[in-house]
A and B are shown apart, each in its own frame.
Chain A
Amino acid sequence: MSETKGYLDMELLRFTTAGSVDDGKSTLIGRLLYDSKAIFEDQMELLEETSKQRGEEGVNLALLTDGLRSEREQGITIDVAYRYFATPKRKFIIADTPGHIQYTRNMVTGASTANLALLLVDARHGVIEQTKRHAFIASLLQIPHIAVCVNKMDLVDYSQEAYKKIKADFEDFASKLEIKDVRFIPISALNGDNVVDRSVNMDWYDGSTLMHLLENIHIGSDHNHVDCRFPVQYVVRPQSVEFPDYRGYAGRIEGGVFKPGDEVIVLPSGFTSKIKSIDTFDGEVEEAFSPMSVCMTLTNDIDISRGDMLVRKNNKPTVEQNIDLMICWMHEKKMMIGGKYTIRHTSQTARCVIKEVNYKMDINTLHRLEDDKEISMNDIGRITIRTTKPLFFDSYRRNRNTGSIILVDEATNETVAAGMII
């Protein structure tokens, strides 16, 4: 029973991985899944059988995540695959993104919800373009933690020098980026060195194993608990005999801590009110913080609907129609300067026009290309837009929830871009 209770009290860590077939990424994920018993016997049997049919030696773990027929046929990963495993301490969600096709689009997608990015570096090849690209995207998407796994240490005789050089090279490159927390681990995914168990081959390394890091890294402060932000998602009006006059504002706390009795301002109207209660199905709560989904009632009746935001008087978000963004373009149809798109931000929907491209980013060199302003699929650039109505936002750096947007093509309804407000 005590063990069952423990299960109910676990934390959740979301991490993203990226890399190509040959850097050992799927071997590493496979090992984490297998050692934590997230791969089952029937899955393993099917994998062994399929690997044999394809004439491969050993078990190809990519077959585990490459769930689509065309992926298996072409031997490539097309899309972000989500994988799950748990240890008694934490539950993990892996967003596993392919290294080849549409890597930027997929990495950005996987990174958008991650607490941690797992970067794999082949100990023989060191820091290569792909490593830099992934590190840049991790910093652009403000993933709070990065774990650099120097893999295939067995192939460089577990050399401390090789590891040190890669660490120094990465740190040199990372100094140009905004990365808050980076850790290095020398591993061999194939042999299991420093993955779950400590390596007996690298006594010069006294840091933690990868699993220990994943289980213990502090994620409590990954959410913003300072700036109170409550975008109204849905208005609950039962109009029932039991609750004839109830009017509650349902939504998820996207920043700060709200308590009954707090004075709040409603955007865009600017009306002030007080929180009467914070309701959940299980009863009223004393305080609500990110990422809780709750339903709030206010002391007076004011007109509030989806897209409005409750904030504190002395800590308001920026209210603006001209917005500077870093965007990642995700669609085959190029971005049109002067083009109009639908923009989604928190629970708000508006239209916007692309006013200007400031520069495009060369994500391999980190150079700003000020002459090339054509933004197409997988490009990252800095742009200015103007929206049809003011949005209430924070910089993405300050709050990932209130600082992110997507653009939607008005003709096809496809999601064409992801944006981070500067």
Chain B
Amino acid sequence: MSSYNLTHLKQLESEAIFILREVAAQFEKPVMLFSGGKDSIIMFHLARKAFHPGKVPFPLMHVDTGHNFPETIEFRDRLIEETGETLIVKYVQDSIDKGTAVEETGPNPSRNGLQTITLLEGLEEGKYDCAMGGARRDEEKARAKERFFSHRDEFGQWDPKNQRPELWNLFNGKKKMGEHFRIFPISNWTEMDVWQYILQEKIELPSLYFSHKREIVNRNGVLLGKCDYIQLKNNENWEERTIRCRTIGDMTCTGVAESDAATLEKIIEEVASTRVTERGGRADDKKSEAAMEDRKKEGYF
């Protein structure tokens, strides 16, 4: 006799699959944002589950800052080859060359903010009316009030004070010409849920997430991995440490963490006992208290 109870992971999975199918049914030309990070990897996994045995009925899009960890790109390309799904890559460098984006200057230049420009250009070029992202409400407090179906005006902007109410599982994706939606199927997942799900589903991840030795620099408490895009300042040195990435983004602003967690089980233990948020290592969120809200209003995820 079954008990007809689903575990929390099964419920979250079912909710995400429901949203993904709703997207495929309600929108004409959706696209799924893919960064090569763990959240977008599980999004892709969920999409394959949602439409099985059919193919995923939308392409993936990677907005590439050009400052990626090489491991991310290798992993991405292998995943696409193995699954036979479609990937579109949009380069921030192209926006810079065109003159629509201007490279940041100053002490901590990053292309993270420029992604928004390339993303909006990519959405416009492809005439996509909906872009799915792996953002979660537990990541940052401006995201705590985000909807599953987030309406954006023709400039891609978010109006947090005027969001559509979202009730039960009835999602309203109606829009006018030129407007579009950002959709977040894993809104209700926490960092812990993501790791547990990866363990449960035996999902493969880029090696960056697991403990390894790497040369890093400590900049204002954020540990940055050695790469060509980071110039050392006075009194700074590269030093070898045993680290892993808690999130994977642009190399210039993704802080790594000292860790010897080399397996999923160890990572889960580490996440369970950790006392700093996942984005605590993200230099881009440290710029001001409302940094995320401001970037979201401009069209960032």
Q: What residues of chain A have their CB less than 8 Å away from a CB belonging to chain B?
A: 1, 3-4, 7-12, 37, 40-43, 46, 50, 64-70, 78-84, 86, 90-91, 93, 105-106, 108-109, 112-113, 220, 223, 225, 233-234, 236-238, 240, 242-243, 246, 248, 250-252, 257, 279-282, 287, 289, 291-293, 295, 306, 330, 342, 344-345, 347, 400-401, 404-406, 408, 413-415, 418
CB closest residue in chain A, given B55 = A238
Expressed in whole angstroms, the Cα–Cα distance for A243 and B54 within the complex equals 8
Expressed in whole angstroms, the Cα–Cα distance for A236 and B17 within the complex equals 13
Q: Is B175 at the interface (CB under 8 A from chain A)?
A: yes
Flag if B145 contacts A415 (CB, 8 Å): no
Expressed in whole angstroms, the Cα–Cα distance for A170 and B168 within the complex equals 27
Query: Contacts A40-B276, A82-B188, A220-B4: A105 and B165 contacting too (C-beta < 8 A)?
Result: yes
Interfacial chain A residues near B265, Cβ < 8 Å: 1, 4
Q: Is B207 at the interface (CB under 8 A from chain A)?
A: no
Flag if B4 contacts A225 (CB, 8 Å): yes
What are 24 A-B contacts with C-beta separation under 8 Å?
A: A11-B7, A11-B8, A12-B12, A40-B274, A42-B276, A64-B141, A65-B141, A65-B144, A78-B160, A79-B161, A81-B144, A108-B167, A225-B4, A238-B53, A248-B54, A252-B14, A287-B2, A289-B4, A293-B17, A306-B25, A345-B170, A408-B172, A414-B164, A418-B165
Across the interface, B160 reaches (CB within 8 A) one of A42, A68, A292, namely A68
List the 5 closest A-B pairs by CB distance, nearest first.
A67-B141, A12-B8, A281-B49, A413-B174, A238-B54
Q: Is B138 at the interface (CB under 8 A from chain A)?
A: yes
Expressed in whole angstroms, the Cα–Cα distance for A220 and B2 within the complex equals 11
Query: Contacts A91-B8, A233-B25: A406 and B142 contacting too (C-beta < 8 A)?
Result: no
Interfacial chain A residues near B2, Cβ < 8 Å: 287
Flag if B169 contacts A401 (CB, 8 Å): yes
Flag if B168 contacts A413 (CB, 8 Å): no
Across the interface, B289 reaches (CB within 8 A) one of A10, A50, A257, namely A50
Flag if B18 contacts A281 (CB, 8 Å): no
- Cβ contacts B196-209/A at 8 Å (1 or 0 each): 10011000000000
Flag if B54 contacts A236 (CB, 8 Å): yes
Flag if B53 contacts A242 (CB, 8 Å): yes
* Most-contacted residue by chain A among B14, B144, B190, B265 (CB, 10 A): B144
Interfacial chain B residues near A400, Cβ < 8 Å: 168
Flag if A281 contacts B161 (CB, 8 Å): no
Please give the distance in Å from A420's CB to the nearest CB on chain B. Answer: 10
Flag if A4 contacts B161 (CB, 8 Å): no
Interfacial chain B residues near A112, Cβ < 8 Å: 167-168
Please give the distance in Å from A39's CB to the nearest CB on chain B. Answer: 9
Query: Contacts A11-B5, A68-B293: A344 and B144 contacting too (C-beta < 8 A)?
Result: no
Expressed in whole angstroms, the Cα–Cα distance for A84 and B140 within the complex equals 12
CB closest residue in chain A, given B179 = A413
Q: Which of B1-49 contact A (CB under 8 A)?
A: 2-15, 17-18, 21-22, 24-25, 48-49
Flag if B142 contacts A68 (CB, 8 Å): yes
Across the interface, B268 reaches (CB within 8 A) one of A7, A237, A408, namely A7
Expressed in whole angstroms, the Cα–Cα distance for A160 and B100 within the complex equals 68
- Could you say which interface size class chain B belongs to? 35 or more
Q: Is B275 at the interface (CB under 8 A from chain A)?
A: yes
Query: Contacts A68-B160, A225-B4: A234 and B168 contacting too (C-beta < 8 A)?
Result: no
Expressed in whole angstroms, the Cα–Cα distance for A40 and B13 within the complex equals 26
Flag if B8 contacts A10 (CB, 8 Å): yes
Interfacial chain B residues near A37, Cβ < 8 Å: 275
Q: Is B166 at the interface (CB under 8 A from chain A)?
A: yes
Expressed in whole angstroms, the Cα–Cα distance for A246 and B54 within the complex equals 9
Query: Contacts A236-B53, A406-B172: A42 and B280 contacting too (C-beta < 8 A)?
Result: yes
- Cβ contacts B90-116/A at 8 Å (1 or 0 each): 000000000000000000000000000
Flag if B163 contacts A79 (CB, 8 Å): yes
Interfacial chain A residues near B138, Cβ < 8 Å: 83-84
Expressed in whole angstroms, the Cα–Cα distance for A9 and B200 within the complex equals 10
Expressed in whole angstroms, the Cα–Cα distance for A330 and B196 within the complex equals 37
Interfacial chain B residues near A418, Cβ < 8 Å: 165, 167-168
Q: Is B232 at the interface (CB under 8 A from chain A)?
A: no
Flag if A67 contacts B196 (CB, 8 Å): no
Expressed in whole angstroms, the Cα–Cα distance for A152 and B187 within the complex equals 34
Interfacial chain A residues near B6, Cβ < 8 Å: 12, 291-292
Across the interface, A233 reaches (CB within 8 A) one of B8, B18, B161, namely B18
Flag if A46 contacts B289 (CB, 8 Å): yes
Interfacial chain A residues near B169, Cβ < 8 Å: 113, 252, 401
Expressed in whole angstroms, the Cα–Cα distance for A46 and B277 within the complex equals 12
CB closest residue in chain B, given A343 = B170
Q: Is B62 at the interface (CB under 8 A from chain A)?
A: no
CB closest residue in chain B, given A287 = B2
Flag if A8 contacts B9 (CB, 8 Å): yes
Flag if B170 contacts A405 (CB, 8 Å): yes
Known contacts A246-B53, A404-B170; can you find 20 more A-B pairs with CB under 8 A? A11-B7, A40-B274, A41-B276, A67-B145, A84-B188, A91-B190, A109-B165, A220-B3, A233-B18, A234-B25, A242-B53, A243-B54, A252-B17, A287-B2, A291-B14, A293-B13, A293-B14, A293-B50, A413-B174, A413-B176
Q: Is B77 at the interface (CB under 8 A from chain A)?
A: no
Q: Is B71 at the interface (CB under 8 A from chain A)?
A: no
Across the interface, B277 reaches (CB within 8 A) one of A43, A105, A237, A406, namely A43
Flag if A93 contacts B170 (CB, 8 Å): no
Expressed in whole angstroms, the Cα–Cα distance for A330 and B172 within the complex equals 14
Flag if A347 contacts B145 (CB, 8 Å): no
Interfacial chain A residues near B22, Cβ < 8 Å: 233
Q: Is B287 at the interface (CB under 8 A from chain A)?
A: no
Interfacial chain A residues near B50, Cβ < 8 Å: 250, 293
Q: Which of B144-174 contact A (CB under 8 A)?
A: 144-145, 160-161, 163-170, 172, 174
Flag if A4 contacts B269 (CB, 8 Å): yes
Q: Is B193 at the interface (CB under 8 A from chain A)?
A: yes
Flag if B277 contacts A42 (CB, 8 Å): yes
Interfacial chain A residues near B142, Cβ < 8 Å: 67-68
Expressed in whole angstroms, the Cα–Cα distance for A11 and B12 within the complex equals 11
Flag if B53 contacts A93 (CB, 8 Å): no
Flag if B167 contacts A406 (CB, 8 Å): yes
* Most-contacted residue by chain A among B7, B168, B280 (CB, 10 A): B168
Please give the distance in Å from A231's CB to the nearest CB on chain B. Answer: 10
